[in-house]
Amino acid sequence: MQTAQRIIVNYQRKRFLISAIVALVTLSLTLGIRFISQRSLNQERIHEAATQAVATLDKILLPLEDSREETMRLVGLPCAEVQPLIRKKAAILQTVRSIALVKSGILYCSSIFGARDIPVNQLQPALPASEARLLLSTDQSLLRGSPIMLQWYPVSADGEDGVMESINIELLSSLILSPRAPLISALSLTLGDRHYIEGLGVVDRLADDQDHPLYRLASANFPFTINVSTPGATALALRDLPSQLPLALILSTLLAWIAWLATAGRMSFTWEINLGIAAREFEVFCQPLLNTRNNECTGVEILLRWNNPRQGWISPDVFIPIAEDHNLIIPLTRYVINETVRNLAVFPPDHHFHIGINVAASHLRRGLLLKDLNRYWFDTNPIQQLVVELTERDALDDIDYRLVRELHRKGIKLAIDDFGTGNSSLSWLEKLRPDVLKIDKAFTGAIGTDAVNSTVTDIIIALGQRLNIELVAEGVETEQQATYLRQHNVLLLQGYLYARPMPLAEFPLWLAQRTPLPVRHNHPSGPIMPLR
């Protein structure tokens, strides 16, 4: 079982642990949220940059697509007739460097040079082609070696006739492919198996840089892809994380301090007892009393046990004194009375069967006990005999003796529990007029071993018999003790020799079998103290 000191230390540890956990969780959540937020923002910016580049290039190519039918109708017409038209169209489109008309594989008219007679595949080996094509290449006419984007529209089924439009990609690269450090280190354009990189021109392959992976976004209108080279949204968010540390530390320290203050009141044993009462964590046990004259069970003493789900089994020696010191013993006693009344059916319906309930002296002040008994006990008209066992831990001199007389008038027996160990006085025997004296187990255990305590036991026995007060010996554990007590006419015995404390639900089975129950493995193995 837990000890008071261990429980207090556990509460202090829990309080420190809770505050530390709050601090760590706050620090982790703050940094985590900032990291996730920054990473999402980086991803949005990367996607936005790629989307903007795709949209810009789409806007350049869509006018060419829209006017291609008009231009394709010019193929085959004399160059002198159509050259002003295609020159005007190139000027209007602005981004188009030149427009060339091809007939039977021969480039015969250019918006820049006018009439020509050059095989188109001599200028662009990939042309002519039977399907429309968009490709990256280099200029072989005006600015030799400069990168261009070519748009080819075939007119004939064999692809020998068509329109070739050259777009000056270098003029557009600063608009659509400019990097935005540190988020974006480079942008590139991919068409087929060729790529354009600002500053490098048209290349056959992109460099494989593991530190700057590519984010690719394809156009929905044309067969090109924008590649964004970036350190990565995650890497950039991690790089930015240390700048968020001061804010996270401030928040974690503040919430840890709040948690420390908040647990000051809750991390206390009195709060634990109140929680135990509210959550019905306490369990009511009973220990039988035997009349050794006829070996019959004549009653039980009601005991309180606490299997705290947070601390484990807590001894009554721990929680009862604390409850008494913090004015919680009366709520605990009410709990015991209420639970006993709810389970009266487990006891024999006999007027001579005694049910003993421990009551602190403070409960007898201002008529509190009588009010509680009227509410819980008398209201159910129980058959069994109630015995109020008054503990001597509290001073007995401020008891309302009128209440004692009223209890006697109502047929309730009064017992002094653990007689001889507390604040007892012989004069109180006259004032209280108890019906029962319960010999404390310390004196019972001294029988045959301790000469001084054994003598005190004899004196208590003689006193009880002299005053015609019924005697009950607690803590009987050996046959030697039982024999000695019987020889001295103490016939009501209670202890492990006959039965250990047991849950109320097990009492009918024990009574039917009349054999001591074995030690329950899920209950404490040490001595179990009553509520006193």
Residues 445 and 484: their CA atoms lie apart, in Å, by 11
Better pLDDT: 290 or 1: 290
Cα(40)–Cα(27) distance, integer angstroms: 20
Pairing mode of beta strands 470-473, 436-439 = parallel
| Position 394 confidence tier, pLDDT thresholds 50, 70, 90 | low
- 219, part of any domain: no
* Pair 55, 77 in one domain: no
Say if residue 373 is in the same domain as residue 468.
yes
Tell me if residue 415 falls in helix, strand or coil: strand
Q: Which residue has the higher pLDDT, 501 or 187?
A: 501
| pLDDT value of position 506 | 93
Band of pLDDT at residue 140, cut at 50, 70 and 90: confident
Tell whether the model's pLDDT for residue 408 goes beyond 50.
yes
- Whether residue 102 has pLDDT greater than 90: yes
pLDDT of residue 213: 67
179 is a domain residue: no
Task: State the average pLDDT over residues 471-488.
Answer: 92
pTM of the complete model: 0.52
* Cβ–Cβ under 8 Å, residues 485 and 477: no
Query: Across residues 404-433, what is the average pLDDT?
Result: 79
% of the chain at pLDDT higher than 90: 30
Report helix, strand or coil for 450. coil
Decide if pLDDT at 516 tops 70: no
Phi, psi of 411 (to 5 degrees): 85, 15
Q: Are residues 337 and 251 in the same domain?
A: no
Are 390 and 457 contained in the same domain?
yes
pLDDT digits 0-9 by tens, 306-339: 888 877 788 888 888 888 877 889 999 999 999 9
Residues 501 and 419 grouped into a single domain? yes
The H-or-E segment that residue 216 falls in is strand 214-218
Please report whether residue 188 resides in a domain: no
Q: Specify if 523 maps to a domain.
A: no
Same domain for 328 and 441, yes or no, is yes
142 and 278 within one domain: no
Q: Which of 171, 205, 221 is the last residue of a domain?
A: 171
Question: Does 157 share its domain with 301?
Answer: no
Which CATH number characterizes residue 429's domain? 3.20.20.450
Within a domain: 33: yes
Report the first-to-last Cα separation within the chain, whole angstroms. 18
**383 and 458 part of one domain:** yes
179-193, 197-211, 372-386, 516-530: lowest mean pLDDT where? 516-530
**pLDDT single digits (tens) 182-199:** 777 778 888 888 888 877
Number of domains in the chain: 3
What pLDDT, on the 0 to 100 scale, is given for residue 91? Answer: 85
The pLDDT tens digits of the residues spanning 206-226 come to: 776 655 667 888 989 888 888
Asked whether residue 461 is assigned to any structural domain, the reply reads yes
Picking from 163, 229, 245, the residue whose alpha carbon sits closest to that of residue 195 is 229
Q: What confidence tens digit (pLDDT) does each residue in 426-473 have?
A: 666 777 888 999 998 888 888 877 666 678 888 889 988 988 999 999
What is the reported pLDDT for 323? 84
User: Is position 477 within any domain?
Assistant: yes
DSSP 259-314: HHHHHHHHSSHHHHHHHHHHTT-EEEEEEEEEETTTTEEEEEEEEEEEEETTTEEE
Mean pLDDT over 4-33 rounds to 79
Report the percent of the chain where pLDDT is more than 70.
86
**Four-CA torsion 207, 212, 215, 216, nearest 10 degrees:** -10
Q: Which has the closest alpha carbon to 160: 196, 184, 194, 130?
A: 130
Residue 519 has pLDDT above 60, yes or no: no
What integer pLDDT is reported at residue 452 of this predicted model? 61
Pair (300, 443) in one structural domain: yes
Domain of 119, CATH number, reads: 3.30.450.20
The stretch 511-529 carries a mean pLDDT of: 50
Say yes or no to pLDDT of 396 above 70.
Answer: no
Residue where a domain stops, chosen among 124, 142, 171: 171
Determine the pLDDT at residue 455. 81
Domain ranges, residue 127: 67-171
Rounded average pLDDT over 161-169: 89
What does the pLDDT read at residue 518?
Answer: 43
CA torsion angle 229 234 238 243 (round to 10): 80
**Of 75, 256, 47, 223, nearest to 149 (Cα)?**
223
Q: Report the mean per-residue pLDDT for the chain.
A: 83
Most trustworthy range by pLDDT among 198-202, 241-245, 523-527: 241-245
Query: Would you state the structure tokens that stand for residue 241, as one six-digit string?
Result: 């994380």
Among 251-265, 328-342, 374-388, the range scoring the smallest mean pLDDT is 251-265
Q: Are residues 243 and 156 in the same domain?
A: no
Task: Tell me if 447 is assigned to some domain.
Answer: yes
Asked which of 159-168, 199-208, 514-523 is least confident by mean pLDDT, the reply is: 514-523
Tell me, yes or no, whether 128 and 57 share the same domain: no
pLDDT at 104 over 50: yes
pLDDT-derived band at 301, boundaries 50, 70, 90? very high
